[in-house]
Amino acid sequence: MLSNAAFNALLKTLEEPPQNVKFIFATTEIKKIPATIISRCQKFDLQRVDIETLTNHLNRICKAENISYENDSIYQICKASEGSVRDALSLLDQAASLCQDNIKDEIVLSMLGLNGYEKNLELFELCLLNKCEEALKVYDDIIQNGIQPVQIISNLLEISHLASRINIIKFDPNITETLQLSISQISSHGLPKIVKFWQILIKSVEELRYAPNEQQAGSMAIIKLCYGSLMPDPSEFLEKISNQTKDNFNNNNTNIENDLKEVKPFESTEKEETKNIGVPKTFEEVLNLLLVHKEALLHAQIINNVHLISYSEGSIKIRLKDNTDSEILKKLSSTLENITKTKWLVSQSEEEGEKTIVEKQNSELDRSKEQIKSNPHFAEVFKHFPKAEITSIEDKNSN
């Protein structure tokens, strides 16, 4: 709880402490302690106390103080303290005062906001089964019993956590056998759906904090959970789309193979023509010629910075982008002359001209993306994943 100014006032004393004095600082939030203080101290990280050790400790205290108790009440106090001996003692003191040194399970559960915990289990399972109307009725019943919406969401979070753990490790020694059985039934709905519930509930905790009406915000959280159970599992959904796409491909496979056979002779002929170097007939052939003769740098400069105005055999008129080195004109002219053994005139103009090759490619990519998004199968993907983006498009049939 010390301010930065107070911590700074301690520095000199910590650097040169009195001979017979030792300072012991304790905190549960080490991140709030300035690095200048931590660097001048010897740090010990204390672990949380496990439930069994904490239970035995409270049992000894109850025996020494003549406090009678029911066994489950001590377990619930230790569980609520989350491994903190100080919190466990505070809760034990509260319970002893409420029960006049005769601690009852029901009173402890009520004190901790856990009274009727089985109702929370029922609520969670109804949300998993998408029974929204029944889930809201159970939620209202829990509210009527005096449990705050924040506590209900917290209980559902705990159930989600336990169900996820049991789904993975199958058995959790830290919970009772009865609760273990109930949680196992919930975990059978599958880990993806339970993890999705956790994400919705975590978001709901934040919404409850700022909502003008906590009870209404809690009710909306239950509705979102029921709606979330309708959402398809992403892996299953994508697999379904993949299978549909594969079926469509198989139906047209014969036509595609025939098309590819027709294309291959044309490609080989084009390569043979490239070997017999002549004057390129189009600007695209010029660019291909540069790549064939390993002029990759010049090719990259042209496709990014050159707007074609006019082209004829032996003559090219272009406009350069701002801040582009005009030496590219001489370089292109001399390179083409060396390759084709023909004089080339490459001139610069201020006319608008065409888009650069890269701009054309980007425009084509954008059009392709829009076509893909309009496809019914992929439109369904973007409906469930609105923030998804198409980053690249690859034609698997082009090779």
Q: Could you tell me the fold of the domain covering 117-228? A: Zinc Finger, Delta Prime; domain 3 (1.20.272)
The pLDDT assigned to 48 comes to 85
Non-local CB neighbours of 48 within 8 Å, separated by 6+ positions? 82, 83, 84
Give residue-wise pLDDT tens across range 260-284: 555 444 444 444 444 445 678 888 8
DSSP structure class, residue 306? E
Is 0.85 surpassed by the pTM of this model?
Answer: no
CATH 1.10.8.60 fits 51-111, yes or no: yes
- What radius of gyration, in Å, describes the C-alpha atoms of the chain? 36
pLDDT value of position 89? 92
Average pLDDT in the chain: 80
**Phi-psi group of 24: left, alpha or beta (phi > 0 → left; psi -120 to 50 → alpha; rest → beta):** beta
Over the stretch 322-380, which tens digit does the pLDDT of each residue have? Answer: 878 778 888 888 888 888 888 888 888 888 888 888 888 888 888 887 777 777 777 77
Q: What is the per-residue pLDDT across 131-151, written as a single tens digit (0 to 9) for each?
A: 888 989 988 888 887 788 888
pLDDT score of 275: 47
Confidence of residue 60 (pLDDT cuts 50, 70, 90): very high
DSSP string over 86-122: HHHHHHHHHHHHHHTTEE-HHHHHHHTT-TTHHHHHH
| pLDDT at 274 (0 to 100) | 44
Whole-angstrom distance, CA of residue 54 vs CA of residue 49: 6
Instruction: Give SS3 for 76.
Output: helix
Q: Which CATH class is domain 277-354?
A: alpha beta
Residue 237 reports pLDDT greater than 70: no
142 neighbors 123 (Cβ within 8 angstroms): yes
**Cα–Cα distance, 315 to 313 (Å, whole number):** 6
The domain ranges of the chain are 4-38, 51-111, 117-228, 277-354
> What is the DSSP secondary-structure string of 116-146?
THHHHHHHHHHHHTT-HHHHHHHHHHHHHTT
pLDDT band at 163 (very low <50, low <70, confident <90, very high): confident
Closest to 155 measured CA to CA, from 192, 113, 188: 113
Q: Using 50, 70 and 90 to split pLDDT, how confident is the model at 108?
A: confident
CA distance linking residue 363 with residue 156, whole number of Å: 49
pLDDT value of residue 106: 77
223 pLDDT above the threshold of 70 = yes
Q: What is the pLDDT of residue 57?
A: 92
